[in-house]
């Protein structure tokens, strides 16, 4: 999956979810920065995620400015009475000429993450991961338990940065990141709920 990269996340617990489902997700089309809205299932997933996050002590929600993430954040924020704030750096990666194309067997995406291919007009994975981590750190300066609502590739960038295994991220499945408790230890990840298809 490529070498780990270290952009120095602030050592603070935070929560993360990928946005709810869109029609392009369902039809396996690469979205990138195309601004695709949630579908009805995606809205329902956001409501369920709010229930799963209700007792987590979250104080504020930060999200990608793309409407699928913003709508997910706003649904959760409204149900949990939490303020929401967009952070541009949390936007999905720019996939250049792959945006709007069928995702196929995903081999191109995995090769992109490993730095083995360049996609015309796209960010490199390292460029994207550096941007994402700056956005995560901007959110973490809030200093209280926060939720980040963003994208599957955002999750991949975070995982690579802190040295955890990447896998396909489900829509609206809440995660909690725990920073190292002492020097030499790794970040830990807790899945708060596993959503079924």
Model pLDDT for residues 153-173, shown as the tens digit of each residue:
999 999 999 989 888 889 999
pLDDT at 143: 81
Give yes or no for residue 88 having a pLDDT over 50.
yes
pLDDT at 167: 80
Confidence of residue 197 (pLDDT cuts 50, 70, 90): very low
Helix (H) / strand (E) element for 84: namely: strand 84-86
CB atoms near residue 16 (< 10 Å):
20
At CB < 8 A and 24+ separation, what contacts does 126-131 make?
A: 126/5, 128/93, 128/94, 128/153, 128/157, 129/5, 129/7, 129/157, 129/160, 129/161, 130/5, 130/7, 131/89
Could you tell me how far CA 195 lies from the centroid of its own chain?
16
> What is d(CA 9, CA 11) in angstroms, rounded to the nearest whole number?
6
> Of 15, 18, 16, which is closest to residue 171 (Cα–Cα)?
18
Give yes or no for residue 6 having a pLDDT over 80.
no
> Of 181, 184, 177, 180, which is closest to residue 159 (Cα–Cα)?
177
Length of the chain: 197
For the chain, percent of residues with pLDDT exceeding 90: 80
Model pLDDT for residues 59-71, shown as the tens digit of each residue:
999 999 999 999 9
- pTM for the structure as a whole: 0.93
- The more confident residue out of 120 and 168 is 120
pLDDT at 196: 40
Confidence of residue 1 (pLDDT cuts 50, 70, 90): very low
């Amino acid at each position: 999956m490529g070498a780990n990269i270290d952009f120095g996340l602030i050592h603070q617990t935070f929560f993360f979810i990928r946005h709810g489902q869109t029609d392009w997700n369902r039809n396996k089309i690469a979205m990138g920065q195309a601004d695709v809205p949630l579908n009805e299932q995606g809205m329902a997933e956001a409501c369920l995620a709010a229930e799963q996050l209700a007792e987590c002590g979250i104080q504020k929600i930060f999200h990608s400015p793309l409407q699928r993430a913003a709508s997910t954040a706003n649904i959760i924020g409204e149900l949990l009475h939490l303020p929401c704030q967009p952070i541009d750096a949390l936007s999905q990666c720019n996939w250049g000429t792959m945006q709007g194309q069928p995702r196929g067997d995903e081999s191109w995406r995995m090769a992109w993450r490993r730095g083995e291919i360049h996609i015309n007009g796209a960010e490199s994975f390292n460029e994207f991961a550096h941007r994402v981590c700056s956005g995560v750190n901007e959110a973490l300066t809030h200093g209280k338990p926060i939720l980040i609502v963003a994208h599957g590739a955002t999750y991949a960038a975070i995982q690579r940065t802190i040295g955890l295994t990447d896998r396909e991220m489900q829509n609206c499945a809440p995660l909690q990141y725990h920073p190292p408790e002492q020097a030499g230890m790794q970040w830990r990840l807790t899945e708060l709920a596993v959503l079924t298809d």
